[in-house]
Structure 1
């Protein structure tokens, strides 16, 4: 692997989710966690890792509320610039695509032109407690020449393959296989890519993004689909995804301790 130039890194922060499973009327990313919205905590984590600019995908009905969280288009207390775009209703993949479409202009605002090897991170606002060292670990690996890098944790549960997706009628399903868990990992974010790689991956998988049933659940899957190689670095338990009220309570406990 060759070391690329130490150009500044940029990020797309996905924050367009509704948050219904958290039982809150606010968009998920605006739900407060010990006094700060999830999206603000996630953006600060990226800023502290040295990200120069962040494109945030927001729900259209809450666009002004997101703008209020980032006065003067900056992450408060940092030099990291913020640009907010309206996320897509079709899928997360489509929302990320909108974020990527805006990232070149954001870089120019920061005085940069994106190069093929510029580091681009895709991060979820719901993983707002991701430690700085996980983010920098991903950035460093991409700068070392790995085109797609994702943080992951070992799987501790035994996994089973079944014959069909979960059904509302709760009819028992048939187990078809038991994968070897020593070779399985649970993926986290931020996922890191060279600008050339993530641009090509989203162009390659664009047709999948129009429907949540066909859209990629993570951006690394698009790289895999076009024949690219994805590498894994060590994640962290604190990079948990806040999806339910139990997750939110656990995150509050972690912060208070």
Structure 2
């Protein structure tokens, strides 16, 4: 599966994608009663923003992503961490993972803002037997995309991106309420008990983080060419002129599918 997020994009992803607040990691540990005996799979792990802090709380974390360059960045950042493994694979490889690890072998499977690339209906059914009773699936979103926020600077950014790309910029990356409703219904259909919690925090961005955040979300073929990057940055600055400070209200959601049976 080639989604176009290798090469430079993986580097932008590692540098500019924000991590998760401590409350999110605590929420996952508490919800699934994770201990030092548990193994967790972070599916669609990117460069490890969720896998790394989880590894501090459990026996081992397997980060799984279809993009080798993302995993290379994750390995670089995780140098010296002995309980992290990185595996090239997508949601379609979960049956293979089940054959390798066995039934009820996992305390949790986390999916951080990557589920919109996956066949969630099939995936949740395939994950259920891999999870121990009391464990489950966590679909984690870490705020609305930069171009879809309810602020003047975000609307100005969206207008500029649409002019640059010559197309509408509407991708929610699974952060919208309709997507969460579909995911919740799919989890319930697979046998999970569904719960949800939310955490909020505020941040103030600068132009470098906004531009880097945009680059981290674009496939390689849509990145501005190297000789146009300076021009692109200046144009973004002009588009956002007068809209500072670039305040951001970030809502993190944990959509939890709990395996509560005792079999």
Higher helix share: 2
For the criterion TM > 0.5, the same-fold answer is no
TM-score by length of 2: 0.35
TM-score in terms of structure 1 length: 0.36
